[in-house]
C-alpha cells in the first residue's frame, strides 16, 4: 500500500516549486506581474550601480508584440558593472543564488530570487529564453539563458563575445499573461516613485504606445554606501542561527562561532550565555548544532542584556534629497521632511524611518489627494496596501489634530521610507511591512513630527485667510462711515476715509493677529 502511494513521490527543486507558486513572489495579476518584473531588474541594477560607485542610468522599454493579446517584450538596460561570464547564468537562471542572501547590509533585494524568477516567468509563459548582454572588463557577452527546472540550474548559451567600452547589463525577455497599464499599480507609477526615492538615478521609460518619459536625476552623486554589519543576537531566529552555523567554516566551537558571527558577543557575554543555558555544550562544533539547541540558544539570547547594535550602517534617502525630489516632481506649496535617528526593532535589527509630506501647490494641480507612497530601502511598495503597517499607521493618525480635516480629500502626498538591514516584509512578495511594534511606533512618531510642520503651516495659512476676510468685512464699511463721520463733525470726508483705510491696513495685516483685541 505504502509503496503504491509513494510511487508518485518526487523530489522538487526550488525552481519547480516557484514555477507552481509564482504568486508567492508577487507574480499574481497581469498588471502587477509586469510591474514586479520591472521591480526585480530595477532593484538589482540600482544595488549593483551603487556598490560599484556608478551613477545609475536605467532604460526600460516595453513593446506590445503584434496582434497578440497580453504579450510583451521588455528590455531593461543599465550602466552598472555588468555580470561576469562565469556568473551570468547563475544570476539570471538559478533561484536563491546571489550576492545578497544572509548579508546583513541595507540593500534593496534580499533573497536573491528576483532575476531568475523573471527568467522563469518568461519561459513558462512564452517558452522563450531570456537574452542578456553583459558588458564588463572591456568586453561584451551576449547569451541566451533558460532554467532547468528539475535541477534549479541555468541553461546558458553564449551567442557572441565582442569588445566593449562601457559596462552594463541589458536583459530582453518576452512575457505573456501580463498587461501594461498606466495606473496606481503600473510600471509608470513604479518608476516615478523609484525616481522620487532615488534622486541620484536617471530613468527612461518607453511605453508600448512609444511614449518616452525621462525621470531626470536631481542629485549628482550616489548616496553613501551602506556597509555590512554582523547580525545582533536579538532578532535572530532558531532557523537563522542554524543557517549561520551551517555556513560557518572557520570556527570549531559554538563559543567562538558566536563571538565571530554576531555583533556585541564578547567572551564575557558567552560566559553569561553558558549560565543561562547550562544544558548546552558551547564547545560543540557549530555545524552539529541541532534545532533544539538552537532554540535553547535563542532563548538564552533573550535573557542576556545586550548593547544595541550599531545603527550607522543605514543610509536613508536623506532630507535634502527628499526635498530636491519633491520639489522636482510636485513643486508643492509646503514640504516637510522628518529626519529621525535610527532605532532597533526586536532588540537587534537597526532600522530608520523617513517621512516627507508635500502639501498644496503642484500637488493640488496634479489632483493628488491623500496619496501615500510607501518605500522600503528606497524601493516603492505599490501592492498589498491593506495589510501594510505603514498604511495602517497613516489610517490611524488623528489627522484633524494636524489641521487635515479629511486626509483622503486634501492635496497631500506622504512619502514614507523604511530603511533596514532586514526589512520586516509580510511575505516574499516584499510589498507590505509587517506589524512590528517598534517599527509601527517609529513610523507613527515620524509621521507626527512631519505633520506638526504641516499643522503649523496650515493654521498660519488659516489665520492669514481669516485676517484677510476680516480686512474685507470691515473694509467695506469705510466709505459710508467716513461720509457719516464727516457729516457729524464737519471733518474732511476724504481725510477721514484715508485714516480709516490706513488703520485697517495696519490692524488687519499679516502676523498682526486679531485687531479686535487691541483697539
DSSP track, 195-257: HHH-TT-EEEEE-TT--EEEE----SSPPPPP---PPPSTT--HHHHHHHHHH--S-SSHHHH
**Sign (positive or negative) of CA dihedral 191, 193, 196, 200:** negative
Comparing CB distances to another protein, the nearer of 290 and 469 is 469
Q: Rounded distance, CA 35 to CA 26, Å?
A: 10
Closest separation in Å from C-beta 473 to another protein: 5
DSSP track, 323-364: HHHHHHHT--SEEEEE----EEETTTEEEEEEEEEEESTHHH
Grid cell, residue 427, equals 511575505
Comparing CB distances to another protein, the nearer of 8 and 519 is 519
Helix (H) / strand (E) containing 154: strand 153-163
Comparing CB distances to another protein, the nearer of 230 and 486 is 486
Closest separation in Å from C-beta 469 to another protein: 8
Comparing CB distances to another protein, the nearer of 139 and 462 is 462
Comparing CB distances to another protein, the nearer of 305 and 476 is 476
Phi, psi of 268 (to 5 degrees): -60, -45
Comparing CB distances to another protein, the nearer of 453 and 475 is 475
Comparing CB distances to another protein, the nearer of 164 and 478 is 478
Q: Rounded distance, CA 383 to CA 427, Å?
A: 12
Q: Rounded distance, CA 177 to CA 28, Å?
A: 10
Closest separation in Å from C-beta 457 to another protein: 24
Q: Rounded distance, CA 248 to CA 244, Å?
A: 6
- The CA–CA distances, whole Å, from 32 to 114, 186, 203 equal 14, 7, 20
Closest separation in Å from C-beta 458 to another protein: 21
Comparing CB distances to another protein, the nearer of 52 and 474 is 474
Grid cell, residue 213, equals 518619459
Closest separation in Å from C-beta 476 to another protein: 5
Q: In what order do the strands lie in the sheet with 130-136?
A: 153-163, 139-148, 130-136, 168-176, 71-78, 57-64, 202-206, 212-215
Closest separation in Å from C-beta 489 to another protein: 4
Residues 6+ apart with CB under 8 A from 236: 244, 262, 298, 301, 348
CA 170 from centre of chain: 24
Comparing CB distances to another protein, the nearer of 40 and 497 is 497
Helix (H) / strand (E) containing 156: strand 153-163
Phi-psi region for residue 340, left (φ > 0), alpha (ψ -120 to 50) or beta?
beta
Comparing CB distances to another protein, the nearer of 8 and 489 is 489
N residues, the chain = 519
Comparing CB distances to another protein, the nearer of 320 and 516 is 516
Comparing CB distances to another protein, the nearer of 324 and 515 is 515
Residues 6+ apart with CB under 8 A from 482: 493, 494, 496, 497, 500
Q: Are strands 334-338 and 349-359 parallel, antiparallel or unpaired?
A: antiparallel
Closest separation in Å from C-beta 497 to another protein: 10
Closest separation in Å from C-beta 498 to another protein: 10
Closest separation in Å from C-beta 493 to another protein: 11
Show the DSSP H helices in 432-510 as ranges. 437-475, 478-489, 493-507
Closest separation in Å from C-beta 477 to another protein: 4
Closest separation in Å from C-beta 197 to another protein: 46
Half-sphere exposure of 235 (CA within 13 A, CB side): 25
Closest separation in Å from C-beta 479 to another protein: 6
User: Interface residues with another protein (CB under 8 A)?
Assistant: 469-470, 473-474, 476-477, 479-481, 483-485, 487-489, 491, 496, 499-500, 503-504, 506-507, 515-516, 519
Amino acid at each position: 500500500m505504502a509503496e503504491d502511494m509513494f510511487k508518485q513521490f518526487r523530489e522538487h527543486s526550488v525552481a519547480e516549486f516557484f514555477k507552481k507558486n509564482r504568486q508567492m513572489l508577487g507574480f499574481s495579476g497581469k498588471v502587477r506581474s509586469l510591474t514586479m518584473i520591472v521591480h526585480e531588474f530595477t532593484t538589482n541594477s540600482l544595488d549593483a550601480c551603487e556598490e560599484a560607485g556608478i551613477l545609475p542610468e536605467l532604460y526600460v522599454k516595453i513593446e506590445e508584440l503584434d496582434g497578440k493579446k497580453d504579450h510583451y517584450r521588455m528590455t531593461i538596460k543599465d550602466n552598472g558593472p555588468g555580470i561576469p561570464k562565469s556568473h551570468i547564468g547563475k544570476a539570471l537562471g538559478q533561484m536563491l543564488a546571489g550576492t545578497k542572501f544572509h548579508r546583513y547590509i541595507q540593500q534593496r533585494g534580499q533573497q536573491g530570487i528576483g532575476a531568475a524568477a523573471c527568467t522563469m516567468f518568461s519561459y513558462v509563459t512564452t517558452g522563450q529564453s531570456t537574452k542578456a548582454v553583459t558588458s564588463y572588463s572591456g568586453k561584451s557577452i551576449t547569451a541566451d539563458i533558460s532554467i532547468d527546472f528539475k535541477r534549479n540550474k541555468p541553461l546558458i548559451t553564449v551567442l557572441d563575445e565582442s569588445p566593449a567600452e562601457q559596462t552594463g547589463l541589458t536583459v530582453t525577455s518576452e512575457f505573456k499573461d501580463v498587461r501594461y497599464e498606466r495606473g496606481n499599480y503600473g510600471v509608470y507609477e513604479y518608476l516615478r516613485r523609484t525616481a522620487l526615492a532615488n534622486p541620484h538615478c536617471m530613468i527612461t521609460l518607453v511605453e508600448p504606445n512609444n511614449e518616452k518619459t525621462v525621470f531626470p536625476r536631481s542629485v549628482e552623486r550616489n548616496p553613501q554606501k551602506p556597509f555590512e554589519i554582523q547580525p545582533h543576537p536579538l532578532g535572530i531566529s532558531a532557523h537563522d542561527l542554524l543557517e549561520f552555523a551551517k555556513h560557518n567554516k572557520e570556527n570549531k566551537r559554538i563559543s567562538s562561532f558566536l563571538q565571530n558571527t554576531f555583533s556585541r558577543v564578547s567572551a564575557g557575554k558567552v560566559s553569561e550565555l553558558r549560565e543561562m543555558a547550562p544544558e548546552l555544550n558551547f564547545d560543540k562544533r557549530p555545524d552539529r548544532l541541532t534545532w533544539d539547541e538552537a532554540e535553547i540558544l535563542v532563548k538564552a539570547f533573550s535573557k542576556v542584556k545586550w548593547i544595541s547594535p550599531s545603527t550607522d550602517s543605514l543610509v536613508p534617502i536623506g532630507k535634502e534629497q527628499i526635498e530636491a525630489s519633491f520639489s522636482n516632481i510636485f513643486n508643492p506649496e509646503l514640504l516637510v521632511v522628518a529626519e529621525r535617528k535610527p532605532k532597533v526593532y526586536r532588540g537587534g535589527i537597526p532600522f530608520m524611518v523617513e517621512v516627507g509630506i508635500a502639501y498644496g501647490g503642484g500637488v493640488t494641480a496634479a489632483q493628488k489627494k491623500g496619496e501615500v507612497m510607501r518605500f522600503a530601502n528606497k524601493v516603492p511598495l505599490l501592492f498589498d496596501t491593506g495589510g501594510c503597517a505603514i498604511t495602517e499607521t497613516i489610517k490611524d493618525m488623528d489627522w484633524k489634530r494636524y489641521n487635515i480635516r479629511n486626509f483622503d480629500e486634501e492635496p497631500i502626498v506622504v512619502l514614507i521610507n523604511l530603511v533596514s538591514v532586514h526589512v520586516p516584509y509580510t511575505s516574499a512578495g516584499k510589498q507590505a511591512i509587517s506589524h512590528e511594534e517598534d517599527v509601527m511606533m517609529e513610523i507613527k512618531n515620524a509621521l507626527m513630527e512631519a505633520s506638526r510642520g504641516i499643522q503649523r503651516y496650515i493654521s498660519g495659512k488659516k489665520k492669514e485667510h481669516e485676517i484677510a476676510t476680516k480686512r474685507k468685512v470691515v473694509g467695506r464699511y469705510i466709505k459710508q462711515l467716513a461720509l457719516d463721520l464727516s457729516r457729524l463733525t464737519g471733518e474732511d470726508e476724504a481725510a477721514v476715509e484715508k485714516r480709516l483705510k490706513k488703520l485697517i491696513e495696519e490692524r488687519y495685516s499679516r502676523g498682526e493677529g486679531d485687531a479686535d483685541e487691541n483697539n
